Structure 1
Amino acid sequence: MKFRRTSAAVLAAAMTLAGCSIANTTASEVALQYGAGPLDSRTFVQCVPTGKREVNDVNDDHYYYPAGQRDFTFSADQGADSAPLTSTTSDSQEITVSGTVKFTLNTSCEKFTDPSGKEWPGGRLQMFHELIASKVDAAPTDGGEQMKEGWKTLLRNYVGAALDRATDNEALKYGWQQLYTDTTSKAKWEKDVLDQLPAILKTLTQGVDLITINSVLLQKPGIQPSLVSGLTDKQAAALRNEAAEVDKQAAVNFPGGLAGYQAYQQQQAINQAIKDGKVQVIPIPQGSPVIVGAK
């Protein structure tokens, strides 16, 4: 009888252990632990730091978030976190904006009180999870997994929305051609967007720095095809003007002046046409005019 009771106790212990939850963070992630009994509400328990493995209560859940720098990409490339953004320049031209924002999630678990007076025992990470991430199901519940699809939605709604506003505000300071062809103007536009982005992002997170912006890289903006064509025509016209100016200076110094230079150019054109086989020279007796006939 004693053996039976001991075996039952061991079996019960094994079943309990098998049903336990496990916190298992990698070196590049942290986790939040929440617990609740069958009749209790779910409550925050603790933060789990990087590289930690521990066994927790059977009713506990863990939500994993990235520790360290991450990217938000916005472009037409497959796999980007967002489609390209659009902005309007000072000369009322729409441009498309692609690039990358490097950011770090604020994983501080130090207890704090937010601007509304609410206290967060799990710090800014708990606030981020409960007010933002949990609403779009962004975090995996097992360590070492990829972020859920809701993570991209979260990035678009916060980093993307703030970036869209910042690029719009700053693009209005420049003409489209400055951003498209002038590297100095483009670099300043990029820096101004970086400077403005953190403050705009904080307006979306109740004034708390839940996400830290590290850098912004903006590609050369996309412009309307008609503008590309116009720019090409303008550049071609500039080259023609430069060539005409060269011809003018050459004519001034040519023996015989402008008339002599024009005669020289005409003769060069005829010689080239003969060489290319575009005209036919008919042999005639010596002393007669030369007749040149087109093929």
Structure 2
Amino acid sequence: MRFLKALAAVAVLVLLTGLSAGCSVSVAPDHKGIEYNAGPFSSTKFDACGNGRIWHGPGDQVFTYPIGQRTYKFGDGGDTDALKVVSRDDLELTVEGVATFSLNDDCATLRKFHEEIGLKYEAYEEEGWGKMLRTYIGAPLDRALDEVSKKYPWQDLYSDPDTKRKWESEVGAAVAAQVNATAGDNFFCAPTYNGTGECGAFLLTLQQPVPPDNVRAALAAAQQAIEDNNTQENRNKQIRTEIQALKELVKVLGPNGAVLYQAIKDGKITVVPVPQGGNLNITPTP
């Protein structure tokens, strides 16, 4: 019996020793980790936040999130497809671009983001992070683009640089408001965020909105017609100038003289100078 009690005591000691052994997670410089105590004999409770090496006990949980400048690209090769908007005159345009931002890495805010959003989407994993971005940045961005684009005619958006700059600025402000409303807090900040920078703002770069292929083809045809018309007008102007010059020749040389002059000028008649008193033999051309 004494042997069994001693063996049990040793087993409990080994178990407790194993549970007290610590582990660590190395958090990359461009990430920040948050740790929760979640041992077998305790409830899950927030413990620490930071980067570098985070020490934790058995059963504890560490979640890491990217910090610093990040992007959400929509378009060819991006995080999602190009977005569609409708102009004031009801033409659908395609828009590509990049939203650049930073995750708010203030520890209290990051913990709130994790508990309210990160856990739901598993945003501490690459696939979950992408899914979270499509919900909290992609969807608000789509709505903001629709809202602002309806203010402008499509030709101004497509071809006027000043309108494009104004539209881009308005969309950026609208995106920030939409994202904050969707997330419920300033979880996303300007890309220059360094702990004290502005949150609730984005750097948004939008490409020129593009109309459908058939509209662009029609625009190209119309532009070609304008260029052809300009070319013809210039040709007509040249012809009128030449006619006026011929009229002046007729006044000076008479009709026959003007014709002869023009034939000589065009190389149709060869003029050979003959010295006075010289002989000239002409061989008819067969």
TM-score after normalising by structure 2: 0.73
Residue aligning to 2:114 = 129
In structure 1, the residue corresponding to 2:202 is in which secondary structure? strand
Are the counterparts in 1 of residues 36 and 48 from structure 2 also a CA contact under 8 Å?
A: yes
- Choose which of 89, 95, 98 in structure 2 pairs with 1:97: 95
Deviation at 1:167, TM superposition (A): 0.9
Residue aligning to 2:148 = 170
Distance 2:224 2:20 in 1: 78
Asked if residue 56 in structure 1 is aligned to residue 41 in structure 2, the reply is no
Distance 2:96 2:24 in 1: 40
2:99 aligned partner, one-letter code: V
Change (3 A) 1:240 1:205: same
- Choose which of 29, 37, 49 in structure 1 pairs with 2:31: 29
In structure 2, the residue corresponding to 1:82 is in which secondary structure? coil
Are the counterparts in 2 of residues 251 and 257 from structure 1 also a CA contact under 8 Å?
A: no
Are the counterparts in 1 of residues 32 and 67 from structure 2 also a CA contact under 8 Å?
A: yes
Are the counterparts in 2 of residues 179 and 186 from structure 1 also a CA contact under 8 Å?
A: yes
Name stretches of at least 5 consecutive residues in structure 1 with no aligned partner: 110-122, 140-146, 260-284, 288-295
Residue aligning to 1:199 = 177
Are the counterparts in 1 of residues 39 and 57 from structure 2 also a CA contact under 8 Å?
A: no
Deviation at 1:88, TM superposition (A): 0.4
Deviation at 1:59, TM superposition (A): 1.8
Correspondence list, 1:220-259, <5 A:
220-256=208-244
Deviation at 1:237, TM superposition (A): 1.1
Residue aligning to 1:73 = 73
In structure 1, the residue corresponding to 2:243 is in which secondary structure? coil
Are the counterparts in 2 of residues 171 and 189 from structure 1 also a CA contact under 8 Å?
A: yes
Residue aligning to 1:209 = 186
Deviation at 1:149, TM superposition (A): 0.2
Q: What's the RMSD between the two structures over aligned residues?
A: 2.9
TM-score after normalising by structure 1: 0.71
Cα deviation 1:235-273 (Å, max 9, x = unaligned) = 1111012112212322332134799xxxxxxxxxxxxxx
Are the counterparts in 2 of residues 87 and 171 from structure 1 also a CA contact under 8 Å?
A: yes
* More displaced stretch, 153-162 vs 189-198: 189-198
1:84 aligned partner, one-letter code: A
Larger helix proportion, structure 1 or 2? 2
Are the counterparts in 2 of residues 72 and 81 from structure 1 also a CA contact under 8 Å?
A: yes
1:211 aligned partner, one-letter code: F
Residue aligning to 2:123 = 138
Distance 1:17 1:103 in 2: 40
Deviation at 1:192, TM superposition (A): 1.3
Residue aligning to 2:253 = none
Distance 1:258 1:87 in 2: 59
Cα deviation 1:70-90 (Å, max 9, x = unaligned) = 01111132xx21111110011
Deviation at 1:14, TM superposition (A): 7.5
Larger radius of gyration: 2
Are the counterparts in 1 of residues 39 and 58 from structure 2 also a CA contact under 8 Å?
A: no
Deviation at 1:286, TM superposition (A): 6.5
1:210 aligned partner, one-letter code: F
